[in-house]
Structure 1
């Protein structure tokens, strides 16, 4: 199956001691899709025991930077063009705490050192070098807000900042009070997280030097910043400039666009994780659920009004801090439709390792499952992601699609129709069971008789009168993504076939004689989607 690496060629020159990064600007990151990895849980070194990893034990399972490097084919074959790995810096070293060991990487002890649990400096450089040879980007998670301790009176000499004056005095956070959220300590009395004073000039200058050197030495192309909203906002512009690469901050929240949008811009961060969209996707697609597609449409509109740049927001449906989608929803088609929406709208799609394997863990630690028991199977969800990546990468490199805003065409209790550039996406929340008589009518700007193709299964459409497209769900609630046939000419998606048949897309006529055209391995791979519910 052709992937991004077949669509574009670049050149790369690697040094032996310092691994060059691509000139990874926000614009270039907007054209990427990201696979998120907890290093300890993605892949084991050769010869390790694959049966000894119980997420409930909150401890090390053995993944390394080398084991990621050795399994990049699995990620790239799904069409991803970047990975995001968990923090690489030294974590707490000591007896197991009441909350386990720091396998996740977020319990920072000394940011000036690497985490020896995951490998050596050469191992990390080798991973970066291999990614760049594959024309892929490396995003690294970092923790700036705090370090980790086992008491509220820690030994500061073991940290990068060794003086007590470089930390805020201990106080528990009073949630909902911004000053408290930024100056008081995460954690609790058992595992407190001393809060670094990022208004201290020495702290600021030291952080600038540290991040500049880290990025340059390991060829890092982008940073994901943990707990970004718990640091004073005016710290970030200088830090981003020092880093010299794209930064995306974690600003945890719900559908409140205002409270999260304030963290993107020249006086804050280049981008943030798209928590409003995540909350809206759950509201619209989870089964059983509210089926509230109106909320999803409203979030899209508000984000375009209030964010500086929606093309670089980090879109996601799962991560290590929230329950797996399969834990929330009983129907695989709910995930397939929400995922198609996430890929086909504004922003950078991010898939958390294990979503493609239908993992179903709830909150921490159960949503941090090891990937290797899956056998890295090419599941229907994996094939769907590969298809979405193929379509998205093709659009990025053949049109101005990525910069075009998403417009809402229609909203109904059965789903939502949107258009971004030349692409009409019709997504439904009815689930897998066939629904005779259930349909979603969408009025597009295309002229009557325009030839379109559903790139999810290469089914042919002809636009009806006044631009109407009417998708019926006699075979279940499958996502429909329509592109003009002329746009696909000569490309790797749905090449023409002498047996192709058009399906009239006019309102009340779309399902009449509707047939799927099987086109070699493309359609064959996608037909496996129909078996997804069996794996769910």
Structure 2
């Protein structure tokens, strides 16, 4: 009886778990994967995928799982995948096939192109075995059709009254943006009536079950600003998972309506993205003052800047190297995103310097890159290593970032004891420098973790970064604080995995798997003891 009580208690534990909270997600860094384009199964033709063909290339949940080392070795602690639900099934449209996953048909079914339920559970379990989180993209605002009078029987919501009447969106009119249909006459996106109580209830039950069934830790929510903001509070509460919404555009006033109690935990940081482009794009305006204003406005007007999603690329935007011709512009902008408030998000292929223009050319297959250990991949690895170390060893994560200087050639910020100095000048060497005031005492030795060079704080607590070797970013940390970091000759004798590792993944599938040795040992001991005592 004693052993049965232990067994039942353990089983109750693994079935009564919850997904990750905003506080736990704050410590993560995210690698965004377009499922169809990340990795191929064995034997597939690696030369067959052309983005302009607008069709499937063959990536699956299994091929993500089989190639997680590439992501984890760069220091990422979470992935964000394409939507997992069934997409449009029918004749090819004028915009191609739904390889991207955003043309939802029946949300109660999985996308068979990406694999089976068992495949998705295996991916989730393997991520959790590695202490990584799973974020899944979900589409709630709309479904997909090829006319303004579709057959509603094939959707999760089968009654026409559960959708807003057809009307094309009038941009800038908030009621139109909330209630009218996205898309066009070729591919229409029937707008679900999320103000309807029954729709809200069905959606709540659906997302609760989805999160539990596949042990999902967080949700990225597509087109969140096209749904009434008060819908999200109940939806995310039912999900029991971290919710990061897409509120496209740099309107901070509108964005502020979508983060906080009663709505979303987080949004993607479009206001700062737009300012990063203004500051670092080459050729461009080098407008560091606009970046400083955006950084400060986000801090003051949004509820919690520390959980916003910081990004430079995604599946809806041109690649950075399509906008900017200089690689140092990427490195400097990337440092800002990793070393300021927020959760860094890197879109697959950014580390390989992909340069596709807007959709579909920004959805290149990753495998032709050979998954090389590029300069950008190395930079990301170093930034993740420092970020994870600072999270583990200090209160860096919750220390608010602050702009400490802007000049005609750059901007510097401070978060915790880390000073990051970024320049807009690009790669060519120039006879210019940046002087930065710090709170560190005179003669404090600092290490630039990107070059491993040392600087010493001078008189009046200043440091000077010069650019005679080109416009490289600098991330400066008091040298004494790097002990145990594994950076710049310091031994990695302190774990650099982030806090928040005590998350209990929902559903038994993440716990009961061949990848969970503790559980295997438990049952082996249990049944061994039962055998001995019988």
Same-fold status (TM-score > 0.5): yes
2:257 maps to 1:292? no
Matched residue, 1:367: 362
Q: Is the contact made by 1:489 and 1:495 (CA closer than 8 Å) also made in structure 2?
A: no
CA deviation after TM superposition for structure 1 residue 259, in Å: 2.1
Inter-CA distance 137–20: structure 2 relative to 1 (3 Å threshold): farther
Matched residue, 1:393: 388
Q: Is the contact made by 1:20 and 1:219 (CA closer than 8 Å) also made in structure 2?
A: no
Matched residue, 1:244: 240
Secondary structure class of the residue paired with 2:69: helix
CA deviation after TM superposition for structure 1 residue 268, in Å: 1.8
CA deviation after TM superposition for structure 1 residue 199, in Å: 1.1
| Unpaired stretches in structure 2, ≥5 consecutive residues | 1-9, 492-534
CA deviation after TM superposition for structure 1 residue 22, in Å: 6.5
Which of 454, 458, 462 aligns to 1:460? It is: 454
Inter-CA distance 87–336: structure 2 relative to 1 (3 Å threshold): same
Which of 296, 301, 312 aligns to 1:317? It is: 312
Q: Is the contact made by 1:277 and 1:300 (CA closer than 8 Å) also made in structure 2?
A: yes
Matched residue, 1:440: 434
Matched residue, 2:412: 417
Q: Is the contact made by 1:20 and 1:216 (CA closer than 8 Å) also made in structure 2?
A: no
Secondary structure class of the residue paired with 2:76: coil
Whole-angstrom distance in 2 between the partners of 1:238 and 1:319: 27
Deviations 1:336-356 (A, max 9, x none): 010011100000000000100
Inter-CA distance 374–496: structure 2 relative to 1 (3 Å threshold): closer
Matched residue, 1:69: 65
CA deviation after TM superposition for structure 1 residue 25, in Å: 0.7
Deviations 1:436-456 (A, max 9, x none): 2x0011011111011111111
Matched residue, 2:265: 270
CA deviation after TM superposition for structure 1 residue 23, in Å: 4.0
CA deviation after TM superposition for structure 1 residue 320, in Å: 0.3
2:347 maps to 1:352? yes
Q: Is the contact made by 1:43 and 1:64 (CA closer than 8 Å) also made in structure 2?
A: yes
Matched residue, 1:480: 474
Matched residue, 2:190: 194
Q: Which has the higher contact order (CA 8 A, sep 6+)?
A: 2
Whole-angstrom distance in 2 between the partners of 1:60 and 1:77: 28
Q: Is the contact made by 1:488 and 1:495 (CA closer than 8 Å) also made in structure 2?
A: no
Whole-angstrom distance in 1 between the partners of 2:276 and 2:217: 29
CA deviation after TM superposition for structure 1 residue 413, in Å: 1.2
Total equivalences in the alignment:
481
Whole-angstrom distance in 1 between the partners of 2:101 and 2:56: 11
Q: Is the contact made by 1:207 and 1:239 (CA closer than 8 Å) also made in structure 2?
A: yes
Which of 150, 153, 160 aligns to 2:149? It is: 153
CA deviation after TM superposition for structure 1 residue 19, in Å: 9.3
Which of 49, 52, 63 aligns to 1:53? It is: 49
Q: TM-score when scaled to structure 1?
A: 0.88
Q: Is the contact made by 1:322 and 1:363 (CA closer than 8 Å) also made in structure 2?
A: yes
2:379 maps to 1:384? yes
Secondary structure class of the residue paired with 1:46: coil
Q: TM-score when scaled to structure 2?
A: 0.88
Matched residue, 1:431: 426
Whole-angstrom distance in 1 between the partners of 2:480 and 2:364: 44
CA deviation after TM superposition for structure 1 residue 48, in Å: 0.6
Please list, as runs of the form range in 1=range in 2, the aligned pairs for 1:324-335 lying within 5 A after superposition: 324-335=319-330
CA deviation after TM superposition for structure 1 residue 419, in Å: 0.6
Please list, as runs of the form range in 1=range in 2, the aligned pairs for 1:482-497 lying within 5 A after superposition: 482-495=476-489
Matched residue, 1:118: 114
Matched residue, 1:143: 139
Q: Is the contact made by 2:482 and 2:490 (CA closer than 8 Å) also made in structure 1?
A: no
Q: Structure 1 residues 316-325 or 195-204, which shifts more?
A: 195-204
Secondary structure class of the residue paired with 2:105: strand
Whole-angstrom distance in 2 between the partners of 1:19 and 1:321: 37
CA deviation after TM superposition for structure 1 residue 20, in Å: 8.8
